[in-house]
Amino acid sequence: MEFYEVIRDRKSVRRYLPDKVPEEALLRVLEAARLAPSWCNKQCWSYIVVDDPGLISSIVAGGAKAFNAPMYIVLCADPSLSGSIGGKEYYLVDAAISMEHLVLAATAEGLGTCWLGAMFNEESVKKALSIPDGLRVVAITPLGYEAKGIGGFIGNNIVRAISSGRSRKPLNSMAYRNGHGRPLNK
Ligand SMILES: Cc1cc2nc3c(=O)[nH]c(=O)nc-3n(C[C@H](O)[C@H](O)[C@H](O)COP(=O)(O)O)c2cc1C
C-alpha cells in the first residue's frame, strides 16, 4: 500500500472478525514499532501481545466481547528511561510515536487497530500482565481484521465521547506560516 493511502485508510476499528493475525504480520508490525525514534534513542517502550482469551477479558473494559478482537497489544513505557523538558514528559511522546508506527504498519497489513486510552484500568492491567511497578501502561489496541458493516462497539458514555466522529479540522485552522494564526497560503 502506498504511504499516503495508508495514512488515509487508517481508522479506529471497533469490531473485529475472530480470524487470527498471522504471526509474520504481527512480527512486521512490531518491527515497525521497534524502529521508531525516541528521546536520546532510549526506546523507553515495551509491548505485550495478549492473545490469551482469559487475559483479554481481564484487561479491556467490556471484556473479550467489547471489540471481539483476537488479540490486543499493550503499550508500556518506562518514564525513567526518557526525559522531560519544561514539564513536558517525553516518555509519552516516545511511546506514542512508536505506537503510531505500529498502527500504520498494521493498516498496511490490512489489519485494524484502535488506540484505547480510557477503556482499561492501569492497575488491573499491570497486575494481570505482571508489568513492573515503574512502568506506565500508555495505551492498548486491539489488532485483527475488521468485521465490516457490523457496526462499532459503543459501550458507554465515556467511549461515546472519546470516539465521537472522524471529521478533522480544516488545514487552514491548524497549519500557519510565520506566526500562529497567520495564513498558511502565500
Ligand atoms: C490518545 C487517544 C485515546 C483514545 N482513546 C480511545 C478509547 O478509549 N476508546 C475508543 O473507542 N477510541 C479511543 N481513541 C480513538 C479516537 O476516538 C479516534 O482516533 C478519533 O475519534 C478519530 O477517529 P479515527 O481514529 O477513526 O480517525 C483514542 C485516540 C487517541 C489518540
Q: DSSP labels for 127-165?
A: HHTT--TT-EEEEEEEEB-B-TTS-----SHHHHHHT--
- Domain count across the chain: 1
Give domain status of residue 181, yes or no: no
Helix 90-108 vs helix 23-34: angle between axes, to the nearest 10 degrees? Answer: 140
In a domain, 59, yes or no: yes
Predicted confidence (pLDDT) per residue in 10-69, tens digit: 999 999 999 999 999 999 999 999 999 999 999 999 999 999 999 999 999 888 888 999
CB of 117 closer than 6 angstroms to any ligand 1 atom: yes
CB of 159 closer than 6 angstroms to any ligand 1 atom: yes
Q: Does 83 fall in a domain?
A: yes
Q: Which range has the worst mean pLDDT, 86-100, 117-131, 133-147, 163-177? A: 163-177
Task: Judge contact between 115 and 41, C-beta under 8 A.
Answer: no
Ligand 1 pocket, residue 119 CB under 6 Å: yes
89, three cell numbers: 514528559
Domain residue limits at 125: 3-151
Q: C-alpha angle 141/24/29, rounded to 5°?
A: 35
Residue 11 lies in a domain: yes
170 falls within a domain: no
Q: How far is the CA of 61 from the centre of ligand 1 (A)?
A: 15
Is the CB of 11 within 6 Å of ligand 1? yes
Residue 89 sits in a domain of what CATH number?
Answer: 3.40.109.10
